[in-house]
Amino acid sequence: MKNKWLEEITEELKKLPGIGEKSAFKITLHILSRPQEEVEEFARKLVDIKRNLKFCSICGGLTVEDPCEICSDPYRDRSILMVVEKPQDIFVFEKTGVFKGKYHVLGGLISPSAGITPDKLRIKELKERVVKEGVKELIISTSPTVEGETTALYIKKLFENTPVKISRLASGIPFGADLEFTDERTLSRALLNRITLE
Ligand SMILES: [Zn+2]
């Protein structure tokens, strides 16, 4: 039996990462079995958060309050900045609980073929923060792809002849892998064993 509205929800759920046809259908049935208030509350939360989400004016991460929780946390080490490609990468690292410094989102990776030059990224802001916040180390955590390496090298060059230490996540993350799909243990290990770029 084809059911249009049942299919509509299933189709939406299938857009989520890692959710196939079968799981989507199962989740649809589960949602429909829940009490009315619970489903409304869930839908409202999603819409509310999405509506109120903005970019943190300091790190560029996603947040409801600006500055974000991490930037305004006095107990986080402001002398170490983790440089990431996109806002979601912050959530991935936060989940490991290993990193106690602060973050800086670049908003992309250098890719001349795609027309993404350094001036299109938040690199100027990074330079300003390093000076203003007295940053001593930058951990460049861009993905191990050609663009990720190019960006890491560019930033390393930028801080040449300055006392700022530049490090890169240790290997263990397969080349071409997306941080989002790297498991927490691998990520924690890569962070602890980070390599100083000479
Ligand atoms: Zn922030």
- Provide the residue range defining the domain that includes 21: 4-39
> What is the tens place of the pLDDT at every residue in 115-133?
999 999 999 999 999 999 9
- Based on the fold, state whether residues 88 and 139 are members of the same structural domain: yes
Q: Which residues surround ligand 1, an ion (CB under 5 A)?
A: 56, 58-59, 61, 67-68, 71
CATH of the domain at 30: 1.10.8.420
Q: Which pLDDT value is given to residue 189?
A: 77
What is the rounded CA–CA span in Å between residue 88 and residue 53?
A: 13
Instruction: Reply yes or no on whether the pLDDT at 173 is more than 70.
Output: no
> What is the tens place of the pLDDT at every residue in 137-167?
999 999 888 999 999 999 999 999 999 999 9
Q: Which pLDDT value is given to residue 177?
A: 61
The secondary structure element, H or E, covering residue 54 is: strand 54-55
What is the rounded CA–CA span in Å between residue 107 and residue 188?
A: 23
Does residue 52 sit within a domain?
no
> Per the structure, how many domains does the chain have?
2
- Based on the fold, state whether residues 107 and 173 are members of the same structural domain: yes
Specify the pTM: 0.79
Distance 83 CA to ligand 1 centre (A): 12
- Based on the fold, state whether residues 105 and 171 are members of the same structural domain: yes
Q: Distance from first CA to last CA of the chain, Å, rounded?
A: 64
Exposure string of 158-178, with b = 16+ CB inside 10 Å and e = fewer, is bbeeeebebbbbeebbeeeee
Higher pLDDT, 92 or 151: 151
Distance 104 CA to ligand 1 centre (A): 8
- Based on the fold, state whether residues 30 and 85 are members of the same structural domain: no
- Based on the fold, state whether residues 185 and 102 are members of the same structural domain: yes
Q: Which pLDDT value is given to residue 150?
A: 93
Distance 92 CA to ligand 1 centre (A): 15
Distance 102 CA to ligand 1 centre (A): 8
Distance 62 CA to ligand 1 centre (A): 8
- Based on the fold, state whether residues 33 and 112 are members of the same structural domain: no
Does residue 119 sit within a domain?
yes
Distance 148 CA to ligand 1 centre (A): 22
